[in-house]
Amino acid sequence: MAAALILASASPRRRELLTQAGIAFEVLPSDVPEVPRPGEVAEAFAQRAAREKALQIAAQRPGTYVLGADTVVAVDDLIFGKPVDPDDARRMLRALSGRTHRVLTAVALVEPNGELQEIVVYSEVEFQALSPEAIEAYLLTGEPFDKAGAYAVQGIGGQFVAQVRGSLSNVIGLPMEDVTALLRRRVPTVLSGARA
């Protein structure tokens, strides 16, 4: 039997979080480019990207539930997505060093009737001061290169995090408290394997 929910993302973190929550789903990644438009603020960009990902896959698989998401790191008015190269990752980590930044994840759920449900969840992450040597050693691990903001709180990058205020799973890539509540309301069948 086909899963009741499609995840429009190739993110292994999102797959792990949904699996740990006992949610039945299948994966069909979107190829929507994750590029902010000129002047687009972090929340608007994340919402648009999540919506476009979900709608793209919903168009390919009509009559299904499709979940799209986009996580961005915001420092002041700057949006930090996934670094394009080591210099970009180095720039991001220097900017995060010794200060607090916001992580926001936008989630979009397209229902079989085409109705769209959207949420945005914010967390604050306080970073320790990073020495140039610590940054270079972290870059050598390879971990920063497919992560928004160039770090993984659940991985080696967690050593740099002094405090997380708000949802930790949001920082990882999917705010599970909010996503589970949304799915419980809109797609209860995908939670049949989990205790409601």
Instruction: Kindly state the average pLDDT of the residues 31-48.
Output: 94
The count of other CB atoms within 10 Å of the CB of residue 179 is 25
- Which pTM does this prediction carry? 0.90
pLDDT digit string (tens) for 56-96?
A: 999 999 999 999 999 999 998 899 988 999 999 999 999 99
- What was the pLDDT predicted at 76? 87
Instruction: Kindly state the average pLDDT of the residues 135-161.
Output: 96
| Percent share of the chain, pLDDT over 70 | 95
Mean pLDDT score of the chain: 93
pLDDT digit string (tens) for 181-192?
A: 999 998 877 775
The count of other CB atoms within 10 Å of the CB of residue 9 is 25
22 — alpha (psi -120 to 50), left (phi > 0) or beta? Answer: left
List of domains in the chain: 5-191 (3.90.950.10)
- What was the pLDDT predicted at 77? 83
70 catalytic, yes or no? yes
- What was the pLDDT predicted at 4? 80
- What was the pLDDT predicted at 192? 55
Instruction: Find the catalytic residue in 70, 76, 77, 85.
Output: 70
**What burial letters (b/e) apply to 110-136, b meaning 16+ CB within 10 Å?**
beeeeeebebbbbbebebeebeeeebe
Instruction: Kindly state the average pLDDT of the residues 35-61.
Output: 96
Q: Worst-scoring range by mean pLDDT, 77-86, 105-114, 150-159?
A: 77-86
Task: Work out the angle between the directed axes of helices 86-96 and 132-141 (0-180°, nearest 10).
Answer: 130
pLDDT digit string (tens) for 163-178?
A: 999 999 999 999 999 9
Q: How many CA atoms lie within 13 A of 23 on its CB side?
A: 27
Is the dihedral angle over the CA atoms 34, 37, 42, 45 positive or is it negative? negative
